[in-house]
Amino acid sequence: METAYPFTKMHGLGNCYIYLDGVSRKLTIPSCSKLAQKVSDPYKGIGSDGLILILSSDSADVRMRIFNKDGSEAKNCGNGLRCVAKYAYEHQLVGSESFTIETLSGVKKATVHPVGRTVDQVTIDMGEPILERGRIPVAGGKPRSRVIHERLKVDGTEYRFTGVSMGNPHALFFVDDVADAPIHRLGSLLADTYPLFPDGVNVGFVHILNDHELDYRVWERGSGITQACGTGACASVVASILEDRVRRDVPVTVHLAGGDLTIEWLAATNRVLMTGEAKTICQGTYFFEAAGSKAATL
């Protein structure tokens, strides 16, 4: 038996997800993982980087769950947060321009910047970066130490990376030009099964342009190369500051394949602010059948 799911497809700098509204109507889904895989397929589904559910929350104004295109569940997604904020405001799931969104990595504060009732720009307080090795996590070494400019040898070639978590783990490699960065090679090797990263890792490449501007490209665990990664953009700025490559308390423009984000790591609060676009692509109805699966109401 097929179930019809009204959906909205949105993107933040080309990082696109299928969004289902579980606040306005109950969502009964046999398998979130399987549904994410199905809707992400560009040939037999809709085509996306994954699936995001917008749900009610006991601890925030709304809650989001994120599933990558391979069906794995992620803890956080910066581009997804901005799109959830846009949807929640435009569909009157919230009553003010500043509100909270629950994620698996904690509650985040969103501030929309509407023109009338339409939102194109959103600021997310992404919280404090996680810098301790054991919490990122990165294997080896002292759990409370930081991972800064650390050696990593892969197939006889030595690289250096800095580790940061913004609710999900990132390994940042500094390069002279992101166009020549080994994104596919290192991304495919490190992201999902490399022993140094027990929870997997998002593999990012950073080219410093000046003290307030950088280029960034990413291979996301569970999704591969994407047009943009909001948590990765935040992590790239934090790593750049840790390595004394850009200044703190200055808004840094991060150029991604899909567009630009503005990131600021505040010394006074230790919190990272991210501002960028959120766009609606289309709306429609998706028909899903998962034979033999017991449905759960979310």
Check whether 184 has a pLDDT greater than 70.
Answer: yes
3-state DSSP assignment of residue 220 = strand
> Tokens standing for 180?
């020549």
pLDDT for 30-78, tens place per residue? 899 999 999 999 999 999 999 999 999 999 999 999 999 999 999 889 9
pLDDT of residue 123: 98
Residue 293 reports pLDDT greater than 70: no
State yes or no: pLDDT of 143 exceeds 90: yes
**Are the beta carbons of 27 and 35 closer than 8 angstroms?**
no
* Mean pLDDT value of segment 177-198: 96
Residue 290: predicted pLDDT: 66
pLDDT at 108 over 80: yes
Question: CA-CA distance, 94 to 64, in Å (whole number)?
Answer: 14
Same fold, 3-125+279-297 and 150-270: yes
Question: Which residue in the list 32, 77, 83, 234 is annotated as catalytic?
Answer: 77
Around Cβ 82, how many Cβ atoms within 10 Å?
32
Specify the fold of 3-125+279-297: Diaminopimelate Epimerase; Chain A, domain 1 (3.10.310)
Residues near 293 by beta carbon (within 8 Å), at least 6 away in sequence: 30, 31, 34
Please say whether the beta carbons of 199 and 170 come within 8 A. no
Please say if 83 is a catalytic residue. Answer: no
Helix, strand, coil percentages in the chain from 3-state DSSP, rounded to 5: 15, 45, 40
Query: The CATH number of 150-270 is which of 3.30.70.580, 3.40.710.10, 3.30.1380.10, 3.10.310.10?
Result: 3.10.310.10
* Mean of all residue pLDDT scores within the chain: 95
pLDDT of residue 203: 98
Number of neighbouring beta carbons within 10 Å of residue 288: 16
Of 16, 32, 83, 229, the catalytic one is 229
17-26, 180-189, 220-229: range with lowest mean pLDDT: 220-229
111-141 pLDDT, tens per residue? Answer: 999 999 999 999 999 999 999 999 999 999 9
Residues 171, 135, 233, CA angle at the centre, nearest 5°?
Answer: 35
Write down the residue that tokens 């809707």 correspond to.
39
Confidence of residue 250 (pLDDT cuts 50, 70, 90): very high
Asked if 75 contacts 50 with a C-beta cutoff of 8 angstroms, the reply is no
pLDDT band at 291 (very low <50, low <70, confident <90, very high): low
229 in catalytic set: yes
Query: pTM of this prediction?
Result: 0.90
Asked whether the beta carbons of 75 and 89 are under 8 A apart, the reply is: no
Binning pLDDT at 50, 70 and 90, where does residue 298 land? confident
Q: Where are the domains of the chain?
A: 3-125+279-297, 150-270
